[in-house]
Homo-oligomer: A and B are copies of this chain.
Amino acid sequence: MRTYLDCIPCFFRQALQAARISGADLEIQKEVLYNLSQLVPDFSYDTSPVEMGRIIYTMVSKATGKKDPYKEIKEESNRLALKIYPELKKKVRESDNPLLTAVMLAIKGNLIDFNLKDSQEISSEIDRIASHNFDLGAICSNKHFNYQYFYQYLLKSKYILYLADNAGEVVFDRILIEQLVDDYKKNILYVVKGKPALNNALVDDAIYCGINNIAKVISCGADCPGVLLEECSSEFMRLFEEAEMIISKGQGNYEALSEESSPIFFLLIAKCPVIAKHIGCGIGDFILQNKSLKLEIDSSGEANKGKEKENISG
């Protein structure tokens, strides 16, 4: 997804928030906004917004001298999400459709994002997620929630590349990955970012949340808040190109990969109006979408892969 003019106000909001989370004083906060304003005239709208996310993050990091401003927030997110892990497992176990419920929880975990400023906000968001009951009927009838495609494609894929999004959310990913490993015997490669990028999960977060016990944890090598392929390591790129199936979590990865023709299933909640417009959905919608494959599900339940580039407005 390219950058839209509507992203500009949001970049300023993100920069200010990142500066504040880094503990920057008023003068440094101003400096960050000034520096960002100087980039506006030359900014390319052909690149993904996550590229600008990286620039903003680097700028804040330089101005404040803090390499990983979201470290504490990430640790708190992991800790609080792990506390409700047994509750999440129970939800899946008691569900009529454990895989679908695990998918829903993995998407719902996407609500833990960089807009949550402190422990209290994270805690109430996680509590809200845990206590919320899904209206599965309504969600599954949404045209951007292609669970049947996802399910059919899953059946025929052995190795799955799972692109992580945020810390805390990792615990919700674990719930889904455990279903994929235990019930469907899949092999999962769990991909985190290579260096700090907002509250995106790093290797330490994946390990802390116990992903390494059920999947192989690797890094994409890049430090954008989304897997921007031109910034990734060649090792990751080989895995990406060979992947039978890719599960991509969150808005940042959607922004980075929405135009790729790989077998990617995007799992996210559309929180940003620009992304919602790009998808053609409403704000707050649960998205399970594949943009490049046309799956023909035959009577035996097998999915056949066919390329069809979707025409996207926005």
Contact = CB atoms under 8 A, between A and B. Distances in A.
A29 B5 CA distance: 8
Contact of A8 (B5, B26, B33, B38): B33
Given A33-B40, A37-B40, A41-B34, A9 B16 contact: yes
Contacts of A34: 40-41
A236 interface: no
Instruction: Specify which of A5, A26, A30 lies most central, judged by the most chain B CB atoms within 10 Å of its CB.
Output: A5
Contacts of A29: 5
A12 interface: yes
Contact of A5 (B9, B16, B40, B41): B16
Interface residues of A, number: 17
Q: Copies of this chain, how many?
A: 2
A158 interface: no
A94 interface: no
Contact of A16 (B8, B26, B37): B8
A11 B37 CA distance: 12
A30 B42 CA distance: 11
A155 interface: no
A9 B34 CA distance: 12
Nearest to A41: B34
Interface string A97-123: 000000000000000000000000000
6 contacts: A5-B16, A5-B26, A5-B30, A5-B33, A9-B10, A9-B13
Given A5-B33, A8-B16, A34-B40, 13 more contacts: A5-B16, A5-B26, A5-B29, A5-B30, A8-B12, A8-B33, A9-B10, A9-B13, A34-B41, A37-B37, A37-B38, A37-B40, A38-B41
Interface of A: 5-6, 8-10, 12-13, 16, 26, 29-30, 33-34, 37-38, 40-41
Top 5 A-B pairs, shortest CB-CB distance: A37-B40, A9-B12, A9-B13, A37-B37, A9-B9
